[in-house]
Amino acid sequence: PRDDDGDSDRWDELKPSVVAPGSGITAALGHSNLPGFTSNASGWTTQDGTSMACPHVAGLAALILEADISLRPDSNSNGVRDRLQEYSETWDGEYGGEPSEPEESDRYNYYYGYGYLDSYEVVDINQPDAFVSEVTTTPDEPVEGDSVTVSIKIENIGTMDIDEAMIKLIVNDAEVESDGLGGISVDSHVTWTYDWEPEEGDYDVQAEVYDVLPAEGDLENNILETSVSVGAAPAEGVDLAIIEVWTDDSDPIHNEHIAIYAKIRNQGTEKADSFELRWYDDNDRFTTLDGEEIEVEEEITISGEWIAEEGESELLARMVSIEPTDQNSNNDERTFVIDVGPPPEEPDFSPANLAIEGMLEEGQDVTISFEIMNLGKTDGEIEYVLRIDGVTVDSGNSEVSGESSDERSYDWSASKGNHVVKVELENSEPAESSLENNEVEINIDVEEASAKFELMEISWTDPVFKDEETAVKVSVRNYGGKDGTVTTTLYASDSMVDSETTEIEAGQEKDVYFTWVPSVAESILLSVQTDYDDETIEKNVYVQEVETENVRPVANGLISVNGIQSTNSMIANANTGDIVSFSGTSSYDSDGSITKYNWTIVRSSDNYKISMMQENFEYTFNEGGTYSVTLTVTDDRGDSNAWQGNVIVNEKTTVTGSGGNEEDSNILLIGGTVAIIGLLGGVLGLRYFKSEEDDDFFDFEDTGPLNLACPSCGGMIGITTEQRPIQVACPMCQSQFVIRE
């Protein structure tokens, strides 16, 4: 051994370090005058010993430094020595080459050191290089109570595979975990994770990789740190957290159906009633799973399925629609990365999508369906076996083309109890690349047969009127496997209307009828429920007041000239320039109100029209002529009635005479009479007439504007409205008539 260097490490003083060729070494013969040695200083000799071995070691040291000068020894390290020792081969010589102290070193031997030098390996400077490239924590903003996952990415950026290495996690200068990493190929990486439950506070988190084998030359990139701030625990209430996500398929291939899992914990102070778990593949959602109730501090695992895609994918699980509202959203999602291999050239069969369709109840017929996937590129044939509780119920052969599938199904009459349904694939032709994915199974629970009821529909016939009986129909279905009786109750605005008990056969539907008399006219919520469960169906019904037949309004118009009402309510005589007043005040509606007044004044000579929309108004006529006046009134239910009168307007003329008999003459009557006689040519046939006292009327098959001849004097009566019945008066003799349809 070497001389004691004063420290407690005896290993740095043990010799030999390595062994090198030192026996029977041919060496240059040197000249010597010593007795017993003969030499002519030209030739070769054979020698043994360390003098022959050391030049080999020195030469290798020089070659190492030539290849990588960074291995030059300094005060802290001796890279040349380490490389010489590390790349030596175990030497099994005369004394045996096994480790002398295996609990201290798995290589060192008292006689041969670390072994026999392997010159090629020593000089080959290819080295691994472990690089800690990422340290991340999930969730991003944790609070006290969260399970924080520390993820560390370690890459091998060297030129040689890493056979093994160690990693340690240091939090606030205290080591909390150390673990082995295993091998890392060149230009690949591994991700090491650690689950940590910190209290509120700030933390420095450091990851370090060490003891890399084979030894690496660069240690500066073996350490990386980050900081984590943990907030206070959330307020009272629900706090669901995804604490872990994973798959149990370590080596999936393209198109393989693999199971994915999410572990969820309620770390709040209140029970969670429901939530949704959504899965995303590189931000594309591929499935949504319904969550169940989770009590405080309870953990559940929800499983789903993902169709693998070649390459690296990041799968993210995210909780949404948490009820009651979640108090901490920072821990509602979590990811993991999975690397999916390409499809193999050979067939690779895998059963997938094993499912039960139908009601899992004793005696019910259900369908067991599954797919046989060929994940490989080559067509092939495979035998399949379907077993229930270990008993074969179906089997056969399936020919499946490369990268496609074949669907199979089996009808089964369910029996009560828990059952294991399993599909097995075997005897592939040609041989498949893997047998690891040739089975799939599910557990099912089949209930005892019973009657099960559900409400299907609630309906009635509109319109529905206050205080009148209405028939309400409720459809109820028995979807169970046994006949049964159910009581159905109808409610109107939460007040019970009636209950009916009905017997319904298994698998059948029946209509239950109720009689309901609404007491108010408004929108009323009808709801129905059975005594089978708490489910209800609801629907709003609009209840109307009972409709009565509308009484049409009565139109009455009044005409005044210069403030003096005409003696005949339907005919007025005026001069140009007079103020003629029109009033609909006498119109009325016995069962409602009048909402609209519409006046139409038409000059018979040229159909010149004047329209007014108010109840009362005044008008001054500037031209003489006969004007028909129509007042149409409309009530609040849309019905209308019309009144018609006439205004005879005369041109006002002043005549001055020279004799005692001269006086002003206002020739009014003559002008009006002449105007009316001139319109006799347009008279239509008169069918019926009577005197005013006998309820005179005309009756025509066609309604609309028309001209009539007065049956009393032959004068023309102009009708300008389609309204029927209507009362009119002759402008000549002032006889009055009623025109009906």
CA angle 84, 90, 96 (to 5 degrees): 135
CB 477 within 8 A of CB 456: yes
Name the band, by pLDDT with cuts 50, 70 and 90, for residue 696.
very low
Please state, in angstroms and rounded to a whole number, the distance separating the CA atoms of residues 151 and 136. Answer: 5
Please give the pLDDT value at position 410: 96
3-state SS, one letter per residue, for 586-636: CCECCCCCEEEEEEEEEECCCCCEEEECCCEEEEECCCCEEEEEEEEEEEC
Assigned CATH for 453-544: 2.60.40.10
In angstroms, the Cα distances linking 466 to 142, 495, 547, 705, 731 are 61, 16, 10, 43, 52
Query: Which tokens hold the place of 410?
Result: 């089996």
CATH number of 240-340: 2.60.40.10
CA atoms of 472 and 513, how far apart (whole Å): 6
Residue 27: its pLDDT value, please?
83
Q: How far is it, in rounded angstroms, from Cα 550 to Cα 546? A: 12
How far is the C-alpha of 255 from the C-alpha of 349, rounded, in Å? Answer: 11
Q: What is the reported pLDDT for 667?
A: 38
Confidence of residue 91 (pLDDT cuts 50, 70, 90): confident
Is residue 261 within 8 A of residue 303, CB to CB? The reply is: yes
Q: Hey, is 483 helix, strand or coil?
A: coil
Contact 648, 626 (CB under 8 A): yes
pLDDT at 197 over 70: yes
| Paired tokens of 313 | 């994918």
By the 8 A CB rule, do 333 and 326 touch?
no
User: Residue 689's pLDDT is what?
Assistant: 38
Q: Is the pLDDT of residue 659 over 50?
A: no
Q: Helices (H) and strands (E) in the chain — how many of each? A: 4, 47
Residue 681, C-beta contacts closer than 8 angstroms, at least 6 positions apart:
none
Q: Which CATH architecture is the domain 349-446 placed in?
A: Sandwich (2.60)
Please report the pLDDT score of residue 391 as a whole number: 96
User: Which two three-digit tokens encode residue 430?
Assistant: 């040609």
Residue 318 has pLDDT above 90, yes or no: yes
DSSP codes joined into one string, 2-42: PPP-SSS--GGG-S-S-B---SSEEEEPPP--STT----SS
| Placement of tokens 């140009």 in the chain | 576
Helix, strand, or coil (residue 63) = helix
pLDDT tens-place string over residues 421-474: 999 999 999 999 889 899 999 999 999 999 999 999 999 999 999 999 999 999
**Do you know the residue count of the chain?**
741
End-to-end CA distance of the chain: 140
Ranges 89-98, 542-551, 586-595, most confident: 586-595
Coil/strand/helix, residue 82? helix
HSE-CB of 602 using CA atoms within 13 angstroms: 17
CA neighbor of 291 nearest in space, from 306, 278, 308, 310? 278
Output the six-digit token pair for 166: 């160690």
Distance CA 228, CA 170 (A): 13
Mean pLDDT within 315-326: 95
CA distance 272 to 237: 9
Q: Which strand ranges, in their side-by-side order, compose the sheet holding 404-413?
A: 349-357, 365-374, 404-413
Are the C-beta atoms of 511 and 477 separated by less than 8 Å? no
Return the ∠ at Cα 625 (arms to 622 and 631), rounded to 5°: 90
Strand partners, 130: 156
Band (pLDDT 50/70/90 cuts) for residue 525 is very high
701 pLDDT above the threshold of 50: no
| CB-CB contact of 241 with 146 (8 Å) | yes
Torsion of CA 632, 636, 637, 641, to 10 degrees: -20
- 113 — pLDDT class (breaks 50, 70, 90): confident
User: Does residue 169 contact residue 207 with C-beta atoms inside 8 Å?
Assistant: yes
Q: Specify whether domain 130-230 bears CATH 2.60.40.1930.
A: no
Strands (E), 401-463: 404-413, 417-429, 439-446, 453-459
**Domain 11-123 coded CATH 3.40.50.200:** yes
* Residues whose CB falls within 8 Å of the CB of residue 564, separated by 6 or more in sequence, listed in order: none
Q: Are 420 and 389 in contact (CB under 8 A)?
A: yes
**DSSP character at residue 252:** -
DSSP assigned state of 713: T
Print the SS3 string covering 677-711: HCCHHHCECCCCCCCHHHCCEEECCCCCCEEEECC
DSSP 294: B
pLDDT given at position 463 = 92
Q: Is the pLDDT of residue 181 over 70?
A: yes
> What are the DSSP calls for 453-487, one per residue?
EEEEEEE--S-EETTS-EEEEEEEEE-SSS-EEEE
pLDDT confidence of residue 162: 93
| Cβ-Cβ contacts under 8 Å for 301 (sequence gap 6 or more) | 261, 262, 263, 264
Stretch(es) of the chain classified as CATH 2.60.40.10: 130-230, 240-340, 349-446, 453-544, 558-740
- Residue 174: both structure tokens together: 């205290």
3-state secondary structure of 433: coil
Q: What is the mean pLDDT of the chain?
A: 86
Give the CA count within 13 Å in the CB-facing half-sphere of 74. Answer: 5
pTM to 2 decimal places: 0.49
Fold of 558-740: Immunoglobulin-like (2.60.40)
CATH 3.40.50.200 range(s) for the chain read 11-123
Does 384 have pLDDT greater than 90?
A: yes
Distance between CA atoms of 346 and 574, rounded to whole angstroms?
A: 113
Q: When comparing pLDDT for 79 and 677, which is higher?
A: 79
Percent of the chain with pLDDT over 90: 60
Q: Is the pLDDT of residue 616 over 60?
A: yes
- Which of the two residues, 135 and 677, has the higher pLDDT score? 135
Report the alpha-carbon distance of residue 534 to residue 532 in Å, rounded: 7
Give the pLDDT of residue 95: 74
Write down the H helix ranges in 198-289: none
Q: 87 pLDDT band (50/70/90 cuts)?
A: confident
